[in-house]
């Protein structure tokens, strides 16, 4: 304990790091993070709706959620959840293969297949678990994974754990992907995302699929940020880019973002899904999604497919355009992204953090993202514009940014 105290006050003194317990080592790592100014902490907010969130600083307009269509507080979805609770109770009671898969889950799976054009789908309690399941079930020693280098942590983590060889291609670069595929050995899986969560940019899906096809590789698309929000009837990034929604061999989508509930699905051929039901440990050994959550998500999917969904997506596009025009009008360059995710590059970490906390005082929540999450010198505000924002909200944050960045330049 004495050695530990010493380390806490002098993080550079590594000689004292021998013979520490697990928890002492953890304490050291935390102290190091703190001294670097990168310690992360939790908040608990008193209330929220699709547009706002209450913090110690009062009610803030929330520009930090993934609730792109504002469905997380939609009365029809909440009602479907309540009705599901009355009908099914609060939990599924078992894993899917035992007795946890109920009619509510089957109906949601069928709706997803009808929407996206796949033979079969299965449900997970989170997108993180779904990604682990796909990659660790289909990839193992002797096979290779070719993945975009900026793919989500859940995909990278699964690839490392799978035992397969991992080759990472340059971000959104189909030629680099092709070169990795040519170099890779054994049966291959190519993996990327529809929309990337930090920059809001899209993968060139058709080109990546063509590289995969030329190399006889399976293709897995994670469309966590595209499902519900992109394409005709919200069926995702593939449709937005003019290709069939079921063009990927395997598609993963999450329910916690645009659809406003929780959990995720994996859709594929009947044979691939049968394989997962038999061999995906994250599916076999985990309590199935609460049936009421499946009822709520079914309502959310139906809503996303309806003309109300079209109206929400139109609102969102208008709001994104309004935000980007606003940035340009105050002399800030809008990013290349035309999705909800609108990074505003500030440059230095300190500047980004200062602007984020000043925005808070002015009534807006927009988080600062710093290196190493993003490349050095590109610290930014990660602003997500949603369908629930009003024109006043958007004008408000643009004016605040105008004021704060002018102050920074002085
Ligand atoms: C959010 C996200 C996930 C994880 O989904 P959860 O349901 O939140 O666990 C997976 N992939 C991508 C690209 C994501 O953005």
Q: What is the pLDDT of residues 354-367, one digit of tens each?
A: 999 999 999 999 99
Nearest to 67 by CA among 304, 343, 344, 360: 304
Is 214 annotated in the active site? no
Pairwise CA distance, residues 96 & 73, whole Å: 28
Instruction: Give residue for tokens 């704060």.
Output: 404
Q: What percent of the chain has pLDDT over 90?
A: 85
Instruction: Give residue for tokens 């803030």.
Output: 60
The mean pLDDT of 211-228, rounded to a whole number, is 98
Q: What is the SS3 assignment for the chain?
A: CHHHHHHHHCCCCHHHHCCCCHHHHHHHHHHHHHHCCCCCCCCCCCEECCCEEEECCEEEEECCCCCCCCHHHCHHHHHHHHHHHHHHCCCCCCEHHHHHCCHHHHHHHHHHHHHHCCCEEEEECCHHHHHHHHHHHHCCCCCEEEEECCCCHHHHHHHHHHCCEEEEECCCCHHHHHHHHHHCCCCEEEEEECECCCCCCECCHHHHHHHHHHCCCEEEEECCCCCCCCCHHHCCHHHHCCCCCCCCCEEEEECCCCCCCCCEEEEECHHHHHHHHHHCHHHHCCECCCHHHHHHHHHHHHHHHCHHHHHHHHHHHHHHHHHHHHHHHCCCCCCCCCCCEEEEEEECHHHHHHHHHHHHHCCEECEEECCCCCCCCCEEEEEECCCCCCHHHHHHHHHHHHHHHHHHHC
Pairwise CA distance, residues 322 & 325, whole Å: 5
pLDDT at 8: 52
Q: Which residues contact 193 (CB under 8 A, 6 or more apart)?
A: 148, 151, 152, 155, 203, 221, 222, 223, 224, 225
Distance of CA 126 to the CA centre of its chain: 11
Q: Which residues pair with residue 265 across a beta bridge? A: 123, 253
Confidence of residue 199 (pLDDT cuts 50, 70, 90): confident
pLDDT at 4: 46
For residue 235, what are the CA distances in angstroms to 224, 244, 310, 341? 11, 10, 11, 18
Pairwise CA distance, residues 127 & 125, whole Å: 7
Read off the tokens for 244.
């069939």
* Sign of the torsion formed by the C-alpha atoms of 228, 232, 237 and 238: positive
Residue 31 has pLDDT above 60, yes or no: yes
> Does the bond joining 21 to the residue before it have cis omega, within 30 degrees of 0?
no
Q: What is the pLDDT of residues 288-337, one digit of tens each?
A: 999 999 999 999 999 999 999 999 999 999 999 999 999 999 999 888 89
pLDDT at 349: 87
Catalytic residue among 24, 148, 193, 199: 193
Is 257 annotated in the active site? yes
Lowest average pLDDT, out of 21-25, 124-128, 236-240, goes to 21-25
Residue 9 has pLDDT above 60, yes or no: no
Read off the tokens for 377.
């010198």
pLDDT at 40: 85
Is 152 annotated in the active site? yes
Residue with CA nearest ligand 1 atom 6: 127
pLDDT at 393: 98
Confidence of residue 191 (pLDDT cuts 50, 70, 90): very high
Residue 14 has pLDDT above 90, yes or no: no
Is 183 annotated in the active site? no
Edge-to-edge strand ranges of the sheet holding 47-48: 47-48, 52-55, 58-62, 364-365
pLDDT at 16: 64
Q: Select from 124, 125, 128 the residue to mutate for testing ligand 1; criterion: most ligand atoms less than 8 Å from CB.
A: 128
The mean pLDDT of 382-397, rounded to a whole number, is 97
Confidence of residue 182 (pLDDT cuts 50, 70, 90): very high
pLDDT at 2: 40
The mean pLDDT of 197-221, rounded to a whole number, is 96
**What pTM was computed for the model?**
0.94
Contact 218, 250 (CB under 8 A): yes
Residue 280 has pLDDT above 70, yes or no: yes
The mean pLDDT of 369-376, rounded to a whole number, is 84
The mean pLDDT of 100-106, rounded to a whole number, is 98
Residue 1 has pLDDT above 60, yes or no: no
Q: Select from 66, 72, 129, 131 the residue to mutate for testing ligand 1; criterion: most ligand atoms less than 8 Å from CB.
A: 131
138 CA distance to ligand 1 middle (Å): 19
Is 225 annotated in the active site? yes
Confidence of residue 410 (pLDDT cuts 50, 70, 90): low
Catalytic residue among 152, 178, 240, 389: 152
Instruction: Give residue for tokens 């899906």.
Output: 205
Read off the tokens for 100.
């946890």
């Amino acid at each position: 304990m004495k050695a530990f105290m010493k380390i806490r006050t002098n993080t550079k003194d590594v000689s004292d790091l021998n013979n520490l317990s697990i928890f002492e080592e953890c304490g050291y790592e935390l102290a190091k993070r703190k001294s670097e100014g990168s310690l992360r902490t939790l908040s608990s907010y008193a209330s929220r709706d699709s547009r706002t969130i209450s913090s110690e600083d009062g009610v803030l307009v929330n520009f930090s959620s993934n609730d792109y269509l504002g469905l997380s507080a939609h009365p029809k979805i909440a009602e479907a959840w309540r009705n599901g609770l009355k009908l099914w109770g609060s939990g599924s009671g078992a894993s899917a293969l035992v007795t946890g898969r109920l009619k509510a889950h089957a109906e949601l799976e069928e709706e997803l297949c009808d929407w996206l054009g796949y033979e079969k789908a299965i449900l997970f309690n989170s997108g993180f678990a779904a990604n682990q399941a796909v990659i660790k079930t289909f990839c193992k020693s002797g096979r290779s994974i070719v993945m975009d280098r900026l793919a989500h942590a859940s995909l990278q983590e699964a690839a490392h754990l799978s035992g397969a060889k991992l080759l990472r291609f340059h971000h959104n670069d189909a030629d680099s992907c092709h070169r990795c595929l040519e170099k890779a050995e054994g049966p291959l899986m190519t993996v990327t995302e529809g929309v990337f969560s930090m920059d809001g940019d899209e993968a060139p899906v058709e080109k990546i699929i063509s590289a995969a096809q030329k190399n006889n590789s399976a293709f897995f698309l994670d469309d966590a940020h595209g499902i519900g929000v992109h394409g005709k009837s919200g069926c995702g990034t593939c449709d937005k880019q003019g290709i069939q929604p079921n063009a990927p061999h395997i598609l993963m989508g999450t329910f916690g973002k645009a659809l406003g509930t929780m959990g995720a699905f994996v859709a594929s051929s009947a044979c691939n899904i049968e394989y997962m039901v038999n061999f995906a440990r994250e599916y076999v050994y985990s309590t199935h999604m609460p049936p009421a959550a499946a009822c709520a998500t079914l309502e959310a999917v139906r809503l996303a497919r309806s003309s109300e969904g079209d109206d929400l997506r139109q609102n969102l596009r208008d709001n994104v355009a309004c935000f980007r025009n606003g940035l340009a009008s105050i002399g800030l360059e809008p990013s290349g992204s035309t999705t909800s995710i609108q990074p505003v590059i500030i440059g230095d970490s300190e500047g980004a953090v200062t602007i984020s906390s000043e925005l808070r005082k002015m009534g807006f929540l927009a988080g600062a993202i710093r290196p190493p999450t993003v490349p050095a010198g590109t610290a930014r505000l990660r602003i997500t514009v949603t369908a629930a924002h009003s024109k006043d909200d958007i004008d408000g944050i643009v004016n605040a940014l105008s004021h704060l960045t002018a102050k920074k330049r002085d």
